[in-house]
């Protein structure tokens, strides 16, 4: 598994502990979905302004959000399957962790799991899809022993 990190914010200090947590979160989703670990994903940590711009430019939603997922339709067979890009708003990580009464690490892990599921085609547009996606999130977070 190849995870590329890009840190473009200063709200949360991104160290090896954080990057290993992100990798573990991705690995748990990959294991749950029974996928080959020969994958590549990029994870970017950004501020509120940058994610708002991305949300506006790519989704036509002019507001901030906590995480964005950009799946890549990998029509070319490379050595690794490229799943796509995850963009995490660290300001929202801090706010949501406080709101839900858990750690920034738990929130980072949850947003990573949520986003990887999006890269794999899950969504929450209707109640049935939302229920399935929430169930997958819960399985992975329980396996990681990261509870709300």
pLDDT digits 0-9 by tens, 1-58: 999 999 999 999 999 999 999 999 999 999 999 998 899 999 999 999 999 999 999 9
Q: Which residues are annotated as a binding site for Zn(2+)?
A: 114, 118, 124
Q: Which residues are annotated as a binding site?
A: 114, 118, 124
| Sheet with 2-7: strands ordered across | 2-7, 39-46, 81-89, 67-71
For residue 89, the tally of other CB atoms under 10 A from its CB is: 28
pLDDT digits 0-9 by tens, 82-96: 899 999 999 999 999
- What pLDDT sits at residue 76? 63
Alpha-carbon dihedral of residues 61, 59, 52, 108, nearest 10 degrees?
120
How far apart CA 63 and CA 68 sit, in angstroms, is: 12
Residue 146: pLDDT over 90: no
Q: What is the pTM of this model?
A: 0.94
Q: What domains lie within the chain, and their CATH numbers?
A: 2-143 (3.40.390.30)
The 10 Å CB-count burial string (b at 16+, else e) for 100-130 is eebebbbbbbbbbbbbbbbbbebebeeeeee
Which range (19-23, 115-119, 127-131) has the least confidence?
127-131
């Amino acid at each position: 598994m190849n995870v590329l990190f890009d840190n473009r914010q200063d709200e949360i200090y991104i160290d090896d502990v954080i990057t290993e947590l992100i990798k573990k979160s991705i690995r748990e989703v990959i294991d749950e979905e029974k996928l080959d670990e020969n994958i590549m994903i990029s994870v970017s940590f950004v501020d509120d302004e940058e994610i708002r711009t991305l949300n506006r430019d790519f989704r036509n939603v002019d507001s901030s959000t906590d995480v964005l997922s950009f799946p890549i339709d990998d029509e070319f067979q490379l050595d690794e399957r490229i799943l796509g890009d995850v963009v995490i708003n660290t300001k929202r990580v801090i706010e949501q962790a406080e709101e839900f009464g858990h750690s920034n690490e738990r929130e980072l892990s949850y947003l990573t799991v949520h986003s990887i599921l999006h890269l794999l085609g899950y969504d929450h547009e209707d109640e049935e899809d939302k229920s399935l996606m929430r169930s997958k999130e819960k399985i992975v977070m329980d396996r990681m022993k990261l509870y709300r």
